[in-house]
């Protein structure tokens, strides 16, 4: 199975009127740190507050008329997108999630009319439940990252980036299962083969990074993270997102929980943005000095705003954050 720019263009037509063309805005603070124009692609302005709407709408709207329902596993935003799209089509939606998913994301999905099943303590456990529902109840399973329609839908972000700033030298993409990175890289490099696309992930439980190092999908331990949306494996039978990321990404950069913490503060105080931990990993990599030098403008994708506001308030106020058995020591911004 292969994907091309034509699939991404078809996805954009299918999503028209549901997913929006989001703003691309400069960050003066991050531009000063980068030495080049540093731009923020504000996917947190999508109707569900996250980029996942794109792939979910393309997949759900692409189902045959006789489909009677959908299921998926999710760390939060994919489930929200599937719930939103299923409600628009009048379909039943069952979203499977692990106990690590923040309560705010669970509640957000239920508010869109979907059923939520909590299964185990990992994305792999949630995936097993989703597959069971597909087999036993005849629901159509929509992968959060290894589905051609999902990847093509996420790829529409790459189209918009290249249309809005054809002079981009690089794109920094939050990296989890690879659906977003695969779609963006596929689209952007089809238009500009020399553009560099980097995946950015947390340094604990970075499944795609470990798979790319090993040359094949591998299992990783999922642990609590400020970047909770980037948790989970890529699937041992991954067909699409792994090979596309392997072949099209210029590299993967890992950031620590402390670097994510400081980037969440920076985007709030400098750019006035409420952003999930997963959304700020590109900024975190820049602020930590982990990126190469660039010869032109750089964009990163602010992937979502669906953060637990109590935890977010703790971060911006400089309080300690407990992530399972790992303590992120707080500090006031700028100290």
**Phi and psi based region of residue 129 (left: phi greater than 0; alpha: psi -120 to 50; beta: remaining):** alpha
Of 61, 63, 85, residue with least CA distance to 74:
85
Rounded distance, CA 288 to CA 298, Å?
A: 16
Rounded distance, CA 93 to CA 133, Å?
A: 11
Sign of CA dihedral 2, 155, 51, 65: negative
Query: Are 79 and 72 in contact, with CB atoms under 8 Å apart?
Result: yes
Query: Are 81 and 47 in contact, with CB atoms under 8 Å apart?
Result: no
Q: What tens digit of pLDDT does each residue of 296-315 get?
A: 999 999 999 999 999 999 99
User: CB within 8 A of 54, min separation 6: which ones?
Assistant: 11, 15, 19, 46, 81, 153, 154, 156, 157
User: CB within 8 A of 2, min separation 6: which ones?
Assistant: none
For residue 111, is pLDDT > 90?
yes
Q: Quote the tokens at residue 331.
A: 């500090």
Mean pLDDT of 93-115: 93
For residue 1, is pLDDT > 70?
no
Q: Quote the tokens at residue 15.
A: 């999503």
Mean pLDDT of 228-254: 95
For residue 65, is pLDDT > 70?
yes
Mean pLDDT of 180-189: 98
- pLDDT at position 314: 98
Rounded distance, CA 147 to CA 170, Å?
A: 25
Query: From start to end of the chain, where are the E strands?
Result: 24-26, 38-42, 69-73, 92-97, 115-118, 140-141, 170-174, 196-202, 251-255, 298-302, 321-323, 326-328
- pLDDT at position 290: 98
Q: Delineate the domains of the chain, giving CATH numbers in brackets.
A: 5-50+148-328 (3.40.50.1100), 53-141 (3.40.50.1100)
Mean pLDDT of 249-271: 98
């Amino acid at each position: 199975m292969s994907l091309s720019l034509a699939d991404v263009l078809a996805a954009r037509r299918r999503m028209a009127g549901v997913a929006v063309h989001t703003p691309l805005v400069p960050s003066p603070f991050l531009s000063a740190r980068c030495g080049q124009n540093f731009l923020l692609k504000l996917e947190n302005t999508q109707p569900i507050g996250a980029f996942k709407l794109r792939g979910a709408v393309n997949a759900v709207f692409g189902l045959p008329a006789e489909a009677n329902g959908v299921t998926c596993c999710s760390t939060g935003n994919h489930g929200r997108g599937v719930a939103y799209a299923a409600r628009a089509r009048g379909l039943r939606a069952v979203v499977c999630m692990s106990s690590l998913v923040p309560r705010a994301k669970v509640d957000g999905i239920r508010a869109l009319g979907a059923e939520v099943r909590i299964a185990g303590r990992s994305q792999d456990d949630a995936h097993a439940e989703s597959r069971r529902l597909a087999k036993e109840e005849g629901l159509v399973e929509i992968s959060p990252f290894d589905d051609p329609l999902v990847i093509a839908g996420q790829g529409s972000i790459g189209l918009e980036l290249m249309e809005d700033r054809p002079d981009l030298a690089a794109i920094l993409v939050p990296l989890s299962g690879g659906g977003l990175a695969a779609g963006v890289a596929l689209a952007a490099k089809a238009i500009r083969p020399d553009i560099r696309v980097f995946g950015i992930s947390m340094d604990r439980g970075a499944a795609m990074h470990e798979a790319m190092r090993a040359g094949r999908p591998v299992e990783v331990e999922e642990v609590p993270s400020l970047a909770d949306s980037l948790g989970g494996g890529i699937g041992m039978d991954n067909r699409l997102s792994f090979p596309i990321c392997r072949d099209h990404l210029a590299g993967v950069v890992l950031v620590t929980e402390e670097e994510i913490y400081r980037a969440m503060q920076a985007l709030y105080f400098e750019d006035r943005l409420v952003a999930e931990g997963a959304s700020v990993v590109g900024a975190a990599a820049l602020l930590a000095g982990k990126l190469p030098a660039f010869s032109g403008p750089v964009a990163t994708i602010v992937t979502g705003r669906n953060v637990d506001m109590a935890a977010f308030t703790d971060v911006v106020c400089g309080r300690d954050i407990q992530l399972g058995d790992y303590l992120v020591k707080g500090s006031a911004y700028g100290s």
